[in-house]
């Protein structure tokens, strides 16, 4: 459609040039009197052609300039926890409460330094009840000199529950079930992995860190859709009002709980979300307008290293 409108505009301008050239030719009075009605008709045609082309071209231009002139009102920072022990071992982790690896502690420390050097200050931090995220948050805030700010711990920001896959090596599962099946378990929107067994489920329910989870919401496994329901619900109930209230917010959580919120913010499709991979320990800044709609986003830090880590996340299940 836009190509057709461009052609109309081009024809109109070409016709206008022809008409103007005709008007500039020296002709006799008699010839001019005969030519005037033709030139008038030609001008009408030019006007029609240009007007026909303008609506489809002007409106996108207006939207483009509106977006270009739009200024961010809020900035928030998303941070996936530093590398965990099971990240290092390439295991499905989910709700298993494993700690940070040595590299993970270093990543969290570096993230805090980067944020401080870039001039970021937070009034409020939201994290999960799992220690790899909670410890990352504490390390970052310590590096920034902000260890006394309010920190909220929410099970809704926990990692996606991987059910019976938790503790298993991703590459080994790919060799056993095929890369495509593991990719579906990891990255599809609505497919749930196999459920955890009853013994593990009961042990999970007895853990102190999960006491705030209503029994009817205690998962045996989860899809990304399930994770979206709880994480986006928490965003809408707790985080968004704090941002609108003027708080500078850090959200330090997990790959899939962050993917869930980002899917909501960027309105990413159910199929397209499979391509979003978030690296450990890399601050991700979102600039939002007054309605909390994204204007732009970007990672802070070494961009080449961030790209390498994103690729590594994507290929974790490869044999």
Which residues are CB-neighbours of 244 under 8 A, at least 6 positions away?
A: 74, 292
φ, ψ dihedrals at 313, nearest 5°: -60, -45
Marked catalytic residue, from 81, 126, 161, 254: 81
What is the DSSP secondary-structure string of 137-195?
Answer: HHHHHHHHT-TTSEEEE-GGGSPPP-GGGTTSBHHHHHHHH-HHHHHHHHH-SSPPPPP
Q: 159 catalytic, yes or no?
A: yes
Check residue 283 and report its DSSP letter: -
Report how far residue 51's alpha carbon sits from residue 55's, in angstroms, rounded to the nearest whole number. 7
Given a contact cutoff of 8 angstroms between Cβ atoms, the answer to whether 273 and 259 are in contact is yes
| Block residue for tokens 């009840």 | 129
- Retrieve residue 282's tokens: 């890399």
Which residue among 83, 159, 161, 254 is the active-site one? 159
**Radius of gyration, alpha carbons of the chain:** 29
DSSP-assigned letters across all residues of 51-97: HHHHHHHHHHHHHHHHHHH----EEEEEEEPPPBHHHHTTB--TT--
- Percent helix, percent strand, percent coil in the chain, to nearest 5: 60, 10, 30
Rounded to whole angstroms, the Cα distance separating 110 from 283 reads 10
For residue 81, indicate whether it is catalytic.
yes
> Can you tell me the distance from the alpha carbon of 284 to that of 82, in angstroms, rounded to the nearest whole number?
13
Q: How far apart are the first and last CA of the chain?
A: 46
Within a 10 A sphere around the Cβ of 198, how many other Cβ atoms? Answer: 9
**By C-alpha distance, which of 212, 139, 221 is closest to 185?**
221
Just list the catalytic residues.
81, 159
């Amino acid at each position: 459609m836009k190509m057709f409108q461009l052609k109309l505009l081009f024809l109109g301008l070409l016709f206008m040039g022809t008409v103007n050239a005709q008007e500039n030719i020296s002709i006799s009075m008699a010839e001019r009197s005969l030519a005037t009605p033709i030139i008038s008709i030609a001008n009408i045609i030019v006007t029609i052609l240009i007007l026909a082309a303008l609506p489809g071209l002007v409106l996108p231009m207006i939207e483009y300039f509106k977006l270009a002139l739009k200024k961010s009102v809020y900035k928030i920072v998303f941070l996936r926890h530093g590398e965990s022990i099971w990240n290092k071992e390439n295991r499905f982790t989910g709700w298993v409460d494993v700690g940070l690896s040595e590299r993970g502690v270093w990543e969290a420390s570096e993230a805090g330094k980067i944020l401080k050097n870039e001039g970021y200050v937070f009034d409020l931090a939201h994290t999960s009840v799992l220690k790899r995220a909670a410890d990352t948050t504490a390390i970052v805030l310590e590096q920034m000199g902000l260890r006394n700010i309010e920190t909220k711990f929410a099970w809704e920001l926990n990692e996606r529950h991987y059910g019976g896959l938790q503790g298993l090596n991703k590459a080994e599962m790919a060799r056993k079930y095929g890369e495509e099946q593991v990719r579906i378990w990891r990255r599809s929107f609505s497919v749930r992995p196999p459920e955890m067994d009853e013994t593990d489920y009961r042990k999970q329910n007895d853990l102190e860190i999960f006491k705030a989870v209503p029994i009817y919401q205690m998962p045996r496994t989860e899809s990304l859709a399930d994770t979206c329901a709880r994480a986006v619900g928490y965003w809408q109930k707790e985080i968004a009002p704090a941002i609108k209230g003027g708080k500078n917010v850090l959200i330090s959580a997990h790959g899939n709980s962050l993917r869930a919120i980002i899917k909501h913010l960027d309105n990413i499709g159910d199929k397209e979300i499979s391509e979003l991979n978030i690296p450990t320990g890399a601050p991700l800044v979102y600039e939002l307008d007054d309605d909390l709609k994204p204007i732009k986003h970007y990672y802070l830090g070494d961009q080449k290293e961030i790209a390498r880590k994103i690729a590594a996340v994507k290929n974790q299940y490869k044999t």
